[in-house]
Amino acid sequence: MRTQSMIKRLAQLSALSISAAVFGCGNLDVPNPNAPDAQRALSDPAALEAVGAGTLRTWVNAWSACEGNCVFNTQAQSYSASWNNFNMNFYSSIDADGTRNSRSWQNNPAAAGRTSVEAPWTAYYSAISSATDVLSAIRNNHVELSNSANTKRLETVAGLAQAMSLMQVALLYDKGYIVDETIDIAALQYSNRKLMRDDVLKKLDAVIALAGANTFQTPANWLNGPTLSNVQVKQLANTLAAMTLAYWPRNAAEAAAVDWNRVVTYASQGISSGTAFNFSFVGDGCTAWCPEQLSWMNSMDTGRLSTRVANMLDPVTQRHPYPTGGNPRPNSADRRLGDGSFGNAGMVSGFGNLPKTANAGTDFAWSSQAIFNNARGSYHQSNIAHIRYDLTGTQDPSGIYYAYGPAALINATVNDLIWAEALIRSNGSLGTAATLINKTRVTRGGLSAAAAGDGATLLTTRLQYEQEVELAGLGPIPYYNRRRVDGLLPGTPRELPVPAKELGVFGQALYTWGGATPSSPTPP
């Protein structure tokens, strides 16, 4: 049962979210003395639309943040960094024998590492709170915008933001609150991660139905540039539903139990079906729209590709773990790495690159520099950088390197690879699975084509290779992919606990995951 103090805190969070959307306040943790009364704002159509649009920005920034994601993806050995910004070094450090990561989440109000647990929870529940307020105003209080079409557009997008934010709670935490416009906050209780997953799917099904029944186009400022039609929102909701099912498992046993036929149904109608598109936004240097993880990890002097993935791209030259003396220039058959050359001669002194040749990779580059402190563990080092999202090709400040320009959130390849996996796991068409894998394996990688005759085992290997190479930097997806195939190092936490601050509201005992207990048991 919710206490009065918790009800008040949720109301304050809602008011802060409204203030941020209407007046552009960028920090939801800092009270705004000029914040309007929440009920008054939610009865004003223009303010209501601003709140609804703001839910997308909150989700985008949480999905793209280094706080949380940079830890998850260094734990997954997708990226590597020994800096302790965002707690990366602390949570991705490996025991002396090189086989375990036994660091549990520091879920304690006095611990510095608690921010990795708190940040996603706070951000996603902020979006949920605002989206729920919008839906309540429309569905319960019958607030109308300038016309019915715009009202339905806002209702659909608010429903999408609510569902996709709850999706992240279900995928990241062992439990959470199912919040929507039909629920009495005074009676709110924790729901386990399985119940949360099922509620997310129900909400996404509702968004799919709404988007299919209405015609609209979102304004450009809702994603700081890109727009979404109702058809694209329907496709995106289908992809998110496929992701919810596929990425929810904490281990291989749970993954085997997924209803993969249902995943096929969703993915076959996702963002890579029909007229394919990538779900993206435009960064503004992190003034309001921030592709933070891509900014950090596509910079050759702050982040690197883990040698685990580099070794997959070129097992001959890129050894894993990192050897004494480093790894030499690559000669990969995969065009995404190629010979590792990148940029121009003027960069060499600053980035240790080899100037771009005709065999330069599209996504990855080699650097002679070992940029991390060996005293923190040489295993953090890597000579391969991820440069796919550096739009200038020279690490120039005007590109994604400093958080400007178009930035990926969930691209069509995410949907293709989930679709292919679902076909393989459900004994569906291996030929279709191979075709989906080849969209990147052949077209971007220049590798030999996968085929139905490869069989399920080899196709799975090729699928997982594409997941590792193609999906780097897309929110926490690499962590989800490694977790559900038992690919994380033993002891690595496989989910987050409810944050200590939240537990403290009710005087509940602090707890955590990691080490000997990496995750909660599978809910019944």
- For the residues of 371-418, what is the DSSP string, one character each? -S-GGG-GGG--SEEE-TT-TTSS--TTSGGGTEEEEEEE-HHHHHHH
Phi and psi at residue 324, to the nearest 5°? -60, 130
Token pair 């998850």 in the structure block, residue: 72
User: What ranges do the domains of the chain cover?
Assistant: 4-80+90-97+107-285+494-505, 412-473
How many other CB atoms are there within 10 angstroms of residue 325's CB atom? 7
* Closest C-alpha to 182, from 154, 203, 160: 203
DSSP letter for 522, please: P
**Tens-place pLDDT, residues 451-484:** 999 999 999 999 999 999 999 999 999 999 999 9
- Per-residue pLDDT of 268-307, as tens digits, reads 999 999 999 999 999 999 999 999 999 999 999 999 999 9
* Of residues 153, 311, 168, the one with CA closest to residue 243: 168
* CA 458 – CA 476 distance, rounded (Å): 26
Q: Which helix (H) or strand (E) holds 366?
A: strand 364-366
pLDDT score at 30: 37
Average pLDDT, rounded, for the chain: 93
CATH architecture classification, 4-80+90-97+107-285+494-505:
Alpha Horseshoe (1.25)
Q: What is the pLDDT of residues 58-69, one digit of tens each?
A: 999 999 999 999
pLDDT in tens, 368-418: 999 999 999 999 999 999 999 999 999 998 777 789 999 999 999 999 999
For the stretch 246-278, pLDDT in tens is: 999 999 999 999 999 999 999 999 999 999 999
- Predicted pLDDT of residue 38: 62
Partnered with residue 280 across adjacent β-strands are 408
Nearest-10 crossing angle of helices 66-75, 45-64: 30
pLDDT tops 60 at residue 1:
no
Per-residue burial over 95-106, b if 16 or more Cβ lie within 10 Å, else e, is eeeeeebbbbbb
pLDDT value for 319: 98
Q: Are 104 and 493 in contact (CB under 8 A)?
A: yes
> Is residue 49 a contact partner of residue 138, using CB atoms and an 8 Å limit?
no
Tell how strand 79-80 and strand 304-305 pair up. Answer: antiparallel
Choose the weakest-confidence range: 36-40, 44-48, 79-83, 275-279. Answer: 36-40
pLDDT at 97: 77
Cβ contacts of 56 within 8 Å, gap of 6 or more: 157, 161, 222, 223
> Using 50, 70 and 90 to split pLDDT, how confident is the model at 37?
low
335 phi, psi to nearest 5 deg: -65, -15
Q: What is the DSSP letter of 113?
A: G
Residue 324 pLDDT > 80 = yes
The CA-based diameter of the chain, rounded to the nearest angstrom, is 67
CB atoms within 10 A of CB 457: 8
3-state SS, residue 364: strand
Task: Locate 451 and state its tokens.
Answer: 């085929």
Residue 35 has pLDDT above 60, yes or no: no
What is the Cα–Cα distance from 191 to 173, expressed in whole angstroms? 11
Cα(176)–Cα(85) distance, integer angstroms:
27
Query: DSSP state, 287?
Result: S
Q: What percent of the chain has pLDDT over 70?
A: 92
